[in-house]
Structure 1
Amino acid sequence: MKVKICGITNLQDALDAINAGANALGFVFYSKSPRYIEVSKAKEIVEKLPPFVQTVGLFVNENENFINEICLEAKMQLAQIIDDNEIISYDLLNVKYLKVLRAKEAKDLRNLNKDFYLVDAYVDSFGGAGKRIALEWFEDIDCSRLILAGGLTVDNLKEIDGLGFYGIDVSSGVESEIKGKKDRAKMIAFVKEANEIK
């Protein structure tokens, strides 16, 4: 099970996440988020990371020029894109991308193409709401190209065992009392539990 820890705001949290076994680190370039990070700060962190760790930039309803510019400057290897307004021409992106599907109902998960998707529960805000998607929506669906996000904690991970997700994305579930500050022990426990999930 691949694990992405999102909402990284400082180097220590990034290193703790990697040492816990995270495969990818997420950096939020959405200014209204409590986990927002400035491009220069993200770049400083990325330049101090060890090899073989994927860096992911999160974007909310931005155009392709903005995404290209930020990913280049901050050294993001993947763009995680919420495009509710359907404004992006994906063929103009210079970086690999992952579309976010904010599911409102079970039928939103039907008839997806063969791309990878990050699937989250729909909320009016963007990210960090901790709302969980109904797991029964994934019954009889091939989840091997889906990354599950939203409300995941070490205490409820076992509920997704057997569904066959490609990966999981966590942010608030491994934070301390302060939004944007990760808890080292929670990250270690989360990744350890995730490695038991199939």
Structure 2
Amino acid sequence: MTHQSSTNQDKTKLKVCGLTHLDQIQELISMNVNFLGFIFYEKSPRYVLNHLSLEEISSIDHQGKVGVFVNESLDKIIETAEKAKLNFIQLHGDEDENFIIELRKKINIETGIIKVIRIGSEKSEVKGKPQQTINSQPSTINYLLFDTDSKAFGGTGKQFDWNILNEIEIPLPYFLSGGISEENINQLNILNQKPFALDINSKFEIEPGIKNIKTIKVFKDMI
């Protein structure tokens, strides 16, 4: 593995999620976007298999291909990850410790696992819950991702209270998601532990799955 300069290593990385079009994906690759997110959740308006085949995704030459799964079966995740040549598996549902341990045993050792911690808006709902969820994660995950809780499992364009992240211990590098935009990027200063990467989606779209490449470029230059 080549060592990046400390400047590149410290710079917050960028993940663009909900991709559905090859021409846009190529534009993002040429902009050096670090992670490309593909949603394999049929109920999502950005369900990638409505637009691209597993073969087309596998042929995308990028080291940061992330497959997003919500309460999917173990076999289906493994099969999809292999056929699409995914570099990361993002678990966005209610997958428990045993599920993740089994997944780690069965997938390629080099495939990273990102576990999503969904954070609600009700104070009573939030108190102590994110920490409990983090503490129950197996050591086999590589990253956490904090997102706004919703029945649709993400893509809300809504921001949760980032102050919550200062009240918990975060033992792994994490992705920050949920309504991130040019308007609230400056609020990152409140965070004691900075995110490893920002995960953007619905705020940078013309319509679900069609990204506004121009605004993504402006945003990338800001981070």
User: Structure 1-normalised TM-score?
Assistant: 0.86
Contact 2:54/2:80, CA 8 A, preserved across alignment: no
Cα deviation digits, residues 126-160 of structure 1 (max 9, x gap): 22111211011122545562211010112211111
Contact 1:78/1:96, CA 8 A, preserved across alignment: yes
- Quote the Cα distance in structure 2 between the aligned partners of 1:168 and 1:5: 8
Instruction: Determine helix, strand or coil for the equivalent of 1:161.
Output: helix
Instruction: Determine helix, strand or coil for the equivalent of 2:48.
Output: coil
**Higher relative contact order (CA closer than 8 Å, sequence separation 6+):** 1
Trace 1:135-174 onto structure 2 (pairs within 5 A).
Answer: 135-141=162-168, 145-161=173-189, 163=191, 164-174=194-204
Which of the pair has more CA radius of gyration?
2
Cα deviation digits, residues 8-50 of structure 1 (max 9, x gap): 101111122223331010000011111111195253144143x
Q: Does 1:109 align with 2:137?
A: no
Q: What is aligned with 1:43? A: 55
Instruction: Determine helix, strand or coil for the equivalent of 1:139.
Output: helix
RMSD, matched Cα? 2.2
Name which of 116, 122, 129 aligns with 2:149.
122
- Quote the Cα distance in structure 1 between the aligned partners of 2:16 and 2:129: 25
Instruction: Determine helix, strand or coil for the equivalent of 2:146.
Output: strand
- Quote the Cα distance in structure 1 between the aligned partners of 2:16 and 2:166: 25
Cα deviation digits, residues 172-197 of structure 1 (max 9, x gap): 12111x11101111110121112xxx
Q: What is aligned with 1:175? A: 205
User: Structure 2-normalised TM-score?
Assistant: 0.77
2:130 is matched by which residue type in structure 1? Answer: L
1:125 is matched by which residue type in structure 2? Answer: A
Contact 1:129/1:150, CA 8 A, preserved across alignment: yes
- Quote the Cα distance in structure 1 between the aligned partners of 2:153 and 2:209: 14
Q: Which moved more, 1:83-92 or 1:183-192?
A: 83-92
Structure 2 residue ranges without an equivalent (≥5) = 1-11, 121-125
2:198 is matched by which residue type in structure 1? Answer: I
Structure 1 residue ranges without an equivalent (≥5) = none
- Quote the Cα distance in structure 2 between the aligned partners of 1:88 and 1:65: 14
- Quote the Cα distance in structure 2 between the aligned partners of 1:28 and 1:57: 6
